[in-house]
Amino acid sequence: MTGDAWYRDGLRFACTQCGHCCTTEGYVWVDRREAERLADHLGLTLEQFAKRHLRTVDRRWALTDRSDGACVFWDEGCTVYPVRPGQCRTFPFWKENLASDEAWRETAQECEGIGEGRLYRRREIDELIEGRGEAVGDTPVERSARNARLEGRSLTQVETRPRMFEARPRENPMAGGSASSGSPLAAPTLETITLEAGRVDQIRKSDLCWGDWIVVRTRNSIYTLRMLDDEQFSVSGGWFDEQELSPHPVTVNGCTWGGSAIKQDIVAAPGLCLEFGNRVMTSRIRQVQVLRSEEAEAVN
């Protein structure tokens, strides 16, 4: 958008997941690439996905609705949030909603998140209007953190110097060896991990030992992973919170740029997307922190 836009000073928005935009009458348009991402996320072929979840309207694809008019993927939250279509990713920053201050205020009457949350700068808004970028929503973990701040409680963020891991021998306390404790390590809180963990550029599976904790901050969510063995992690946050599965044992396939190629040796790295063994894929990773098992034991 060119010219002296009325929103030049920016606009605030934070999705409250009220579901209003997902349960009102209308079409959610998808192109072939978006349909393929949704199908892959659900473990379906494109043909299976189209048969179950798509309809043709004026020679275009749109998601089907439930019998009550809500989006087929709405279930007290978006069940395909990491791969939701661009129309959903950019709401409410649509061209028609930003045509004027009055149009924005009318949209705000239907969207309770407008005027809340972080400030989107003009450049970000222009990118969203063009279908690029993403209007970030709140996950259960992020909502809890925001509510804590509103109530005067603090989830302190401590920035430490980025570091790379040094490989060390794997020791599983449950299998004996030189570790000091034979009982499962009590889970530290998210606040404790954030305070104590160091930031890293990337983390490989070979860098981890039993009991190590990883905090992965993506564009949309926060995930905590605890190393159980060579294959499995106990995972909380993000999609697993939304599905009320946390903590959930699951393998990690690796990291990807979003396509079919995957780096199987990497658990998490900024700029990549983490894919779990159940085919759930996160949005792009922004930060990785790790708390070693002995450090976690010391802060409990």
* 83-114: pLDDT as tens digits: 888 888 888 998 899 999 999 999 998 888 88
Name the maximum alpha-carbon separation found in the chain. 68
Distant-in-sequence, close-in-space partners of 52: CB < 8 Å, separation ≥ 6: 44, 64
What does the angle CA 275 – CA 281 – CA 287 come to, to the nearest 5 degrees?
A: 80
Asked if residues 22 and 74 have their Cβ atoms less than 8 Å apart, the reply is yes
Query: What is the C-alpha separation between 85 and 143, in angstroms, rounded?
Result: 23
259 band by pLDDT with thresholds 50, 70 and 90: low
Asked if residues 173 and 134 have their Cβ atoms less than 8 Å apart, the reply is no
The whole-chain average pLDDT of the chain stands at 75
- Between 122-131, 239-248, 258-267, the lowest mean confidence (pLDDT) is in 258-267
Q: Is the pLDDT of residue 174 over 50?
A: no
Residue 157: exposure state from Cβ atoms within 10 A (0-12, 13-18, ≥19): exposed
Return the pLDDT at 296: 52
Position 265, amino acid: D
Residue in the block written with tokens 């939304």: 242
Q: Which of 131, 119, 139 is nearest to 93 (CA)?
A: 131
191 band by pLDDT with thresholds 50, 70 and 90: very low
Where is mean pLDDT largest: 136-145, 241-250, 285-294? Answer: 241-250
- Give the CA distances from residue 66 to residues 62, 74, 203, in Å, rounded to whole numbers and listed in that order: 13, 9, 41
Asked if residues 44 and 52 have their Cβ atoms less than 8 Å apart, the reply is yes
What does the CA dihedral 245, 240, 185, 226 come to, rounded to 10 degrees?
A: 140
Position 93, amino acid: F
Return the pLDDT at 219: 79
